Amino acid sequence: MAIKPPNLRESEVWKSIFRPGSIYRKGYKDTSRDRALATMNNVLWHLHPTKVKRHGLKLTYTFCLGGLSFFLFVLLTLTGIFLMFFYRPMADIGGAQAYTDMQTIRTSVFFGDLMRNLHRWGAHLMVLSVTLHMARVFYTGAYKPPREFNWVVGVVLLFLTLGLSFTGYLLPWDQLAIWAVTVGTSLAGYSPFIAKQANFLLLGGAIVSPNTLLRWYVLHVLALPFVLVLFLAVHFWRIRKDGGISGPL
């Protein structure tokens, strides 16, 4: 007796994973209804409305800059997690593990060098793409009612992006890192009234020290990404609630 091969897409397991309307489900038809369900019934895609303005698809309207910033954030999160496995934020007397770990990542860790390059270049590119995204939003007038608040959220995101990039800049603990951070933070010492306190809060001491390294590491891998994801969620949500992409011009 011939055994009938099981059809994977008709199995209960398959059907339990892919909700009705999923493009992977048996019976998906290229109809208006199923296209809408494909967006609506997917945890990631339903960030989007089921339909979008046609003009928003034009590359020359958005240049996909907001999207690229988000993709870079995803790339930086993935490569950052990889790097965290091999990096210790320590530089106390008796050895600068942070720096030696950097050398290990470059020389001994499989794909370590590539991951570090991706992380560093991606960080620079993200600062650039977020800035250009802001310029695009300005030139298309996309901050106008009802999108005022989302512009403000965007400014916070720009600030957080700079903060993430700057805190990450210290972590290699080489000459480039500590002197760039020394120059960059020296300005905090000129804040009115709270100069000393601001400096201490930022550096965990009077100068850039191993305390600063630990402090900025925690900010870089946990605190700032956490806050950034919260604002990112609001940013995306407000795009939908404020009526999708702005325009057309």
Partner 1 sequence: MTWEETNKDMGAYQQALDAQSSSGVDSRVAEGRARRAAVRAYRNEHPDEDAAHAAEARTAAPAGGAPAATATAAAAPAAAAAAPGNGGAVAVAAAPMTAAVREAPLPTGNIPTPKKGAPDKHRLLAIVPPEGIQRVEREQGDRVHTWPHLLLEEFIAMSILFAGMLIFSSLINAPLRELANPNLTPNPSKAPWYFLGLQELLRYFHPMVAGIVIPTFILVGLAAVPFVDRNPSIRPGDRKVAITLFTILFMFGAVLTIIGSFFRGPGYNWVWPWTQGVFFEL
Q: Which of residues 15 and 209 has its CB atom nearest to partner 1 in the complex?
A: 209
Q: Which stretch binds partner 1 (CB under 8 A): 3-11, 131-139, 215-223, 225-233?
A: 131-139
Task: Give me the least distance between CB of 141 and partner 1, in Å please.
Answer: 3
Task: Give me the least distance between CB of 102 and partner 1, in Å please.
Answer: 6
| Burial label, 101 (beta-carbon count in 10 A; 0-12, 13-18, 19+) | buried
By three-state DSSP, how is residue 141 classified? coil
Task: Give me the least distance between CB of 79 and partner 1, in Å please.
Answer: 9
Between CA 96 and CA 145 the distance in angstroms is 52
Task: Give me the least distance between CB of 159 and partner 1, in Å please.
Answer: 6
| Burial label, 154 (beta-carbon count in 10 A; 0-12, 13-18, 19+) | buried
Q: Which stretch binds partner 1 (CB under 8 A): 7-15, 82-90, 219-227, 240-248?
A: 240-248
The token pair that represents 191 in the structure block: 């804040």
Check residue 247 for interaction with partner 1 (CB under 8 A): yes
Q: Which of 15, 140, 200, 232 forms a contact with partner 1 (CB under 8 A)?
A: 140
| Burial label, 170 (beta-carbon count in 10 A; 0-12, 13-18, 19+) | buried
Cis peptide before 248 (omega within 30 of 0): yes
The token pair that represents 145 in the structure block: 């009612």
Between CA 147 and CA 230 the distance in angstroms is 18
Check residue 143 for interaction with partner 1 (CB under 8 A): yes
Q: What is the DSSP string of 106-121?
A: HHTSTTHHHHHHHHHH
Q: Which of 90, 157, 160, 208 forms a contact with partner 1 (CB under 8 A)?
A: 208
Q: Which of residues 97 and 225 has its CB atom nearest to partner 1 in the complex?
A: 97
> Which residues, 24 to 63, sit near partner 1 by CB under 8 A?
32, 35-36, 38-39, 45, 48-57
> Which residues, 65 to 94, sit near partner 1 by CB under 8 A?
67-68, 71-72, 75, 91
Task: Give me the least distance between CB of 68 and partner 1, in Å please.
Answer: 6
| Burial label, 168 (beta-carbon count in 10 A; 0-12, 13-18, 19+) | buried
Q: Which of residues 19 and 48 has its CB atom nearest to partner 1 in the complex?
A: 48
Check residue 201 for interaction with partner 1 (CB under 8 A): no
> Which residues, 156 to 175, sit near partner 1 by CB under 8 A?
156, 158-159, 162, 165-166, 169, 172-175
